[in-house]
Amino acid sequence: MAETSAQTKRVISDKYRASHEDDQSTLAAALDRGLSGTSDTVSDYEAALRGYFSHRNAIAISSGGAAITVALVAAGVKAGDEVVLTPTCPLCTVYPVMDMGAKPVFVDTRPDGFGVDLADLERVVTKKTRAIIEIPMWGMPTQVDELQKAARKAGIPLILDLAHSHGSTLHGRSLSAYGDLSCYSTHERKPLATGEGGFILTDNDDLAKRCRDYSRFGNLNGRDFGLNFKLGALAAALGTNRIKYLDRQLEARRKNAERFLSQLKHPSVREFTRIEGGKHNYYFLTLRTSFANNRRFIDYLDDHGVPSDIKRYGCRCLYDFPAVEQYRRPCPNGERLLNSMTTIPVHPALSGDDMDYMVGLINAYREG
């Protein structure tokens, strides 16, 4: 038996399932209270979110995708309006825009990261632009402070899709502090996980009220239109419990990333350029490569049991997917980014030995 398992291919899992000793008792206690999206359990969760992220308002929402829909409505986006976003994000961010009948307008990323390129932003903004969405991928901070200034100057609401970025900061503040509306997902694979779920953070009370009203059927007053995007109480209870452990989780991620990076020696592989004042939550460690054939490098890692989000999700600029093709606007920086990178899992269930294995594989890789 031992010999068989020694021959089994080593596989590194990119799935992390948080589990805490008090999750079960938390859920059991929640069952004794109201279970709907307007229950005290959900209000308690919103209070915990306000506390952790230091915001005036938190609105619990049924998913990260729904949070984007609600934020777009709150920002005043209507059918026929234009919404500017980078094309290097998942389909989850652009589908809500398309669903509203608004037009996604792609803006290029910076050459060395996933933030909006400000010169290109000036080219794409028109009188019809009603919102800008920035998506810091894999939790890596982007220059949200500079984008916030540009958006304010143009008088356009800034929505941040922070589905990957719980706990990522810039100049000591949550990335969400720089958006008018910041959307998070708590899907099972995200750093704060409640199964399905999401939330919106904002310091603007008026925008918060619009989010709350729209996601709760316009409070059924028959005057304000809305739909049901409420989060149920059981997911909220789990979220309240798990926020307590989030910093500990992120610290374990950081340790794994640092151990890996301290040994990385391959001349064609490096960490993405860190922006000044930024602190990464290491949802994934992202590596920049300079291989003639990056796909071959990713396949090599995959063959040795190291998965890449680039391969798992077939990451490419959104306008290269058939469903989004009609909005094609070539973004050469974004294309280059996705074609010269990979992701490395560093979640807390991985050991130091797992880190050493992955970095050893990379250091041993030879092109051609």
Ligand X SMILES: *Cc1c(COP(=O)(O)O)cnc(C)c1O
Tokens 């004042």 correspond to what residue?
277
Of the candidate spans 118-126, 157-165, 247-255, 261-269, the one that interacts with ligand X by CB under 6 A turns out to be 157-165
Among 37, 64, 139, 191, which residue sits at the site for ligand X (rule: CB under 6 A)?
Answer: 64
| Of the residues 113, 139, 191, 198, which one makes contact with ligand X according to CB under 6 A | 198
Smallest distance, Å, CB 5 to ligand X?
34
Nearer to ligand X, 163 or 359 (CB): 163
**Member of 39, 57, 63, 256 binding ligand X (CB under 6 A):** 63
In the complex with ligand X, the residue whose CB is nearer, 90 or 157, is 90
Contact present, 41 and 64 (Cβ < 8 Å): no
Question: Rule CB under 6 A: which of 132-151 touch ligand X?
Answer: 135
Query: Looking at 190, 209, 265, 311, which residue is catalytic?
Result: 190
**48/273 Cα distance (integer angstroms):** 33
Q: Cβ closer to ligand X: 145 or 188?
A: 188
Do the beta carbons of residue 140 and residue 280 sit within 8 Å? yes
> Which CB atom, from 85 or from 105, has the smaller least distance to ligand X?
85
Q: Please list every residue from 6 through 35 that binds ligand X, using CB under 6 A.
A: none
Min CB(290)–ligand X separation in Å: 26
The binder of ligand X chosen from 55, 187, 216, 253 (CB under 6 A) = 187
Distances (CA, A) of 6 to 2, 331, 357, 358: 6, 46, 15, 18
59: its two tokens: 């609105």
Does residue 161 bind ligand X (CB under 6 A)?
Answer: yes
168 binds ligand X (CB under 6 A): no
Please count the residues of this chain forming the interface with ligand X, following the rule CB under 6 A: 14
Nearer to ligand X, 65 or 345 (CB): 65
What's the farthest any 2 CA atoms get from each other in the chain?
Answer: 70
Residue 163 near ligand X by CB under 6 A:
yes
Specify whether the CB–CB gap between 182 and 192 falls below 8 A.
no
In terms of DSSP H, where are the helices of the chain? 2-7, 23-30, 40-53, 64-74, 91-99, 118-124, 144-154, 205-215, 233-263, 294-303, 309-312, 332-338, 352-364
Dig out the tokens for 350 from the structure: 């991985």
Considering the complex, what minimum distance in angstroms separates the CB of residue 197 from ligand X?
7
Should residue 191 be labelled a site residue for ligand X when binding is judged by CB under 6 A?
A: no
> Cβ of residue 68: shortest distance to ligand X, in angstroms?
6
* Selected binder of ligand X within 130, 164, 230, 253 (CB under 6 A): 164
- The CB-of-189 to ligand X minimum distance in angstroms stands at 7
Q: Which two tokens stand for residue 68?
A: 């984007």
Closest approach, Cβ 235 to ligand X, in A, equals 11
177 binds ligand X (CB under 6 A): no
Q: Which of residues 75-114 bind ligand X (CB under 6 A)?
A: 89-90, 92-93
- Neighbour tally for 78: CB within 10 Å: 11
Q: Is 166 in the site for ligand X (CB under 6 A)?
A: no
CB 250 within 8 A of CB 167: yes
| Residue 51 CB, nearest approach to ligand X (Å) | 22
Token pair in block for residue 123: 């080219």
Which letter, b or e, does each residue of 110-133 get, where b requires 16 or more Cβ atoms within 10 Å of its Cβ? beebbbbbeebbeebbeeebbbbb
Burial of 344 from C-beta contacts in 10 A (0-12 / 13-18 / 19+): buried
Among all residues, whose Cβ is closest to ligand X? 64
The question of whether 190 is a catalytic residue gets the answer yes
Residue among 205, 284, 311, 290 at smallest CA distance from 16 = 284
The footprint of ligand X (CB under 6 A) covers 63-65, 89-90, 92-93, 135, 161, 163-164, 185, 187, 198
Q: Which amino acids are annotated catalytic?
A: 190
